[in-house]
A and B are shown apart, each in its own frame.
Chain A
Amino acid sequence: MKPRHKRTAMIVGALATIAIAAYFVLNAFQSNLVFFFTPSQVGAGEAPQNRAFRVGGMVKEGSVTRNNLTVSFVVTDTLKEVPVTYTGILPDLFREGKGVVAQGQLGDDGKFTASEVLAKHDENYMPPEAQHALDQAEIEKTSQSLK
């Protein structure tokens, strides 16, 4: 092969590799995006029914009940609430009145079944997503009281 042809072949090969890789990447990317919704958004029906998403806010005081390994609790942003059930071991810092983010699916009955409850790593640290939910609710409240 002439050097020029060789060069062309190499470039074509490299481009083909990148194209295949890009296909894999974007395909997997599309199907694995997990969106976050605040309890208010879930209440307004904005969250998808048959796709996993995340919901976050505060664990409502007094809402935690346990039945063996299944835990039920309520996630609230002070405006709306989402009931959540989770089977398994909760992270160490899961507490009533503290921030929480849960990932899972919303059932037809409006109950959220979590496959994962995300841990915070520091007792004073609020998950940014949970903080976001509370902030949004705060903005909503102020704008309503102004009306």
Chain B
Amino acid sequence: MIPELGHFALILAMLVAAVFGTLSLAGGQQGKAEWIALARPGAQVLWLLVGFSFVCLAYSFYSNDFSVLYVVQHSNSQLPDIYRIAAVWGGHEGSLLLWLLMLCTWMMAVSLFSSQLPDAMVSRVLGVLALIAVGFLMFMLFTSSPFERLVEIPVDGRDLNPLLQDPGLVFHPPMLYMGYVGMSIPFAFSIAALLNGRLDAAWARWTRPWATAAWICLTIGIAMGSWWAYYELGWGGWWFWDPVENASFLPWLVGTALMHSLAVTEKRGLFRSWTIMLSLIAFSLSLLGTFLVRSGVLTSVHAFATDPKRGVFILLFLAVVVGSSLILFAARQGKVRSGGSFALVSRETFLLVNNVLLTTAAAAVLLGTLYPLIIDALNLGKLSVGPPYFNAVFAPIMTPVLFFMVVGSYARWKNDTVADLTKKLRPIAIVSVLLGCTAPLLAGEWSALVAMGLTLAIWIVLASAVQIYRQLKDTVNWKSTPVSYWGMHAAHIGIAICVVGITMVKGYETEKDVRMTFGDTVEVGGYTFRLTGIEEVPGPNYKADRGSVELIKGDRVLRVLHPEKRTYFSSTMPMTEAAIDTRFTRDVYVSLGEKLEGEGKPAWAMRVYHKPFIAWIWVGCLFMAFGGALAALDKRYRKKAAAKVSATDMKGATA
């Protein structure tokens, strides 16, 4: 009964979304107050329906209802409770439902926190989002309903892929989806602005916190995914340039550009077409990512579906969304063109340069991601583009981005001079080059790449530190500094921290694959590892060979690490569980390979890594997200609520 209720709720949701979406769009266009009034309650009803459906599916998982096909495929009665709930999004159908729930949650948020916006605007925005929801509801109902029942009920489920049985599954997909789907909000705002033909500073001010919020979720989601892959996949990598990772990274790159472009549109009324374009691209890339992940064209942890019907549907949907929004853009672009001007040396220019570079980086990553798929689709052979391509391309494009980031934050709006900028930045540049070039000497081997990475990181941190110091010293009342100012610095310092992590790992990581018997030692990165024993231990739904490895520095045993090799009962699938010791400046990482046949004592293959500063990568991402949160919470986005009534009469006065 429960699954049918869930299914029914989805059908109802589709009807509700179709009706209120059309009406609120039309209402917004024609100024029909009674249709516009439907928008907010419509979004809230939609959220309740989809939420109810989601709870139904979660309950089916929780209660081990093996009459539901999707539950059979992704759960098992031995699965711990928490993973039974998280297994809801462990497969294709359920993750689509999660996608939809996230979309409806964003719509709900827009309906609740939009009191300062004109009702017609909100109506258009929610209308656009509702139509996107209709597309996804149709997709679910026609090709991939999670509520399908089985006639013959199996005794037990097939279990969740052991790789997914990890706390990472509980947090990573919802957060990432929240970010992915969140890009639909600036998209909807842009479509609304194009329909309206009015795009001013007020529009940018409304859109900014939403774009930033989506970006924060995306940042955290990607960072968690990277961290999860690092400790779970057992081969110590934190970024593989896997097409699915790229799929989430592309909207992030474009989203980063969008946030900065929106800043210019708000402060100076410039870059309007560009801002609109970026928001269209960001959401299109989110959809493309969904297509890549969900259509089964990829080999990946994330690829579940191999039903071509599904791929075709998403591709069609993608074509409709991208096509119609581009046509609208082409038709209305003239109306939203920017006025105003700025000098060649000005903050606008530097922001523009970085915008172009970030978009170029996104294009390069897109090329490497899509090219193999296109060649394969055209039957021209099979090939792949490896990480060396992405590394070779990404680093040179991002290097100037890191440089201009600082210059941009020092330059004045509208007009500045090279002489002024040089005067302010020269001491910082000299100090950071000196520090950056000597620091690698402390780590041992000097390398140009490490020196450059560290120089850029120090450049960013010093520049922020100097600006913060000035702000505190020169401003009479520093408390009046907008919160978003601190947000910007926190995020930029986050980038620097991340750059340090990446540079140090790339420059100085060491690894060894070895054969070890009890008592053997191996030395990596100045640490000694001694295998002291391997015992069999039981887990809730698996048994594991658990190694004990002493981590030794000098004569002292720092701690005992316990890497595991697990075998899950339901699938007899082996799984490597690495043991990691994390410290401020390094991780050591031990993973257990297979048991090796040999004469005499039992031997094991082991892999040992030393990864300097790797945790900084994720800590940097957290700083970025924190900075984003500060920026999104700035009170100027909220204070207009009271002044709304009078503001609507003086349209465009704030522009």
Contacts and interface: CB of A to CB of B under 8 A. Distances in A.
* A-B interaction: yes
Contact of B574 (A21, A69, A93): A93
A68 B383 contact: no
A121 B384 contact: no
B515 interface: yes
A25 B597 contact: no
A123 B573 contact: yes
B161 interface: yes
Nearest to A122: B161
Nearest to A128: B299
A1 B161 contact: no
Interface in A89-134: 89-90, 92-93, 103, 118-123, 125, 127-129, 132
Contacts of B349: 10
Contacts of A10: 344, 349, 352
A17 B356 contact: yes
A132 B573 contact: no
Contact of A69 (B163, B300, B591, B605): B605
A121 B367 contact: no
B388 A28 contact: yes
A18 B353 CA distance: 10
A30 to B, nearest CB: 9
Given A17-B353, A93-B573, A29 B389 contact: yes
A106 B573 CA distance: 31
A25 B389 CA distance: 8
Given A17-B360, A21-B364, A92 B299 contact: no
Mostly, the A contact residues are mixed
A118 B300 CA distance: 11
A69 B466 CA distance: 53
A60 interface: no
Interface stretch (A33-41, A77-85, A139-147): A33-41
A53 to B, nearest CB: 9
Contacts of B328: none
Interface residues of A, number: 43
Interface in A8-26: 9-10, 13-14, 17-18, 21, 24-25
Given A34-B386, A66-B597, A122-B161, A9 B344 contact: yes
Given A28-B393, A121-B163, A127-B299, A14 B383 contact: no
Contact of B357 (A17, A35, A54, A92): A17
A48 interface: no
Interface string A36-73: 10000000000000000010000000000010110000
Interface string B555-586: 00000000000000001111110000000000
B594 A28 contact: no
Contacts of B235: 89
Contacts of B308: none
Interface in B381-399: 381-386, 388-389, 392-393, 396-397
B384 A36 contact: yes
Given A89-B594, A122-B161, A127-B299, A36 B396 contact: no
A47 to B, nearest CB: 12
B515 A129 contact: no
Contacts, number: 116
Nearest to B301: A121
A127 B388 CA distance: 22
Nearest to A130: B299
B536 interface: no
B343 interface: yes
Given A68-B515, A69-B514, A88-B513, A6 B344 contact: yes
A36 B393 contact: no
Contacts of A90: 593-594
A15 to B, nearest CB: 10
A24 B344 contact: no
A30 B405 CA distance: 30
A65 B350 CA distance: 59
Interface string B587-609: 00001011011100000011100
B510 interface: no
A125 to B, nearest CB: 8
A125 B573 CA distance: 12
A31 B435 CA distance: 35
A46 B654 CA distance: 67
Contacts of A121: 161, 163, 300-301
Nearest to B603: A68
Contacts of B363: 25
A132 B605 CA distance: 32
Contacts of B397: 21, 24
Nearest to A101: B299
B575 A25 contact: no
Nearest to B387: A32
Given A21-B360, A25-B367, A36-B384, 17 more contacts: A3-B341, A10-B352, A17-B353, A21-B396, A25-B364, A28-B388, A28-B393, A29-B368, A29-B371, A29-B385, A29-B389, A68-B596, A89-B605, A92-B575, A93-B574, A118-B299, A125-B303
Which 9 pairs of residues, A with B, have the shortest CB-CB distance?
A32-B389, A36-B382, A28-B392, A89-B593, A121-B301, A35-B383, A21-B360, A25-B364, A92-B574
9 contacts: A18-B356, A24-B396, A25-B393, A69-B605, A89-B606, A90-B593, A118-B299, A127-B299, A129-B382
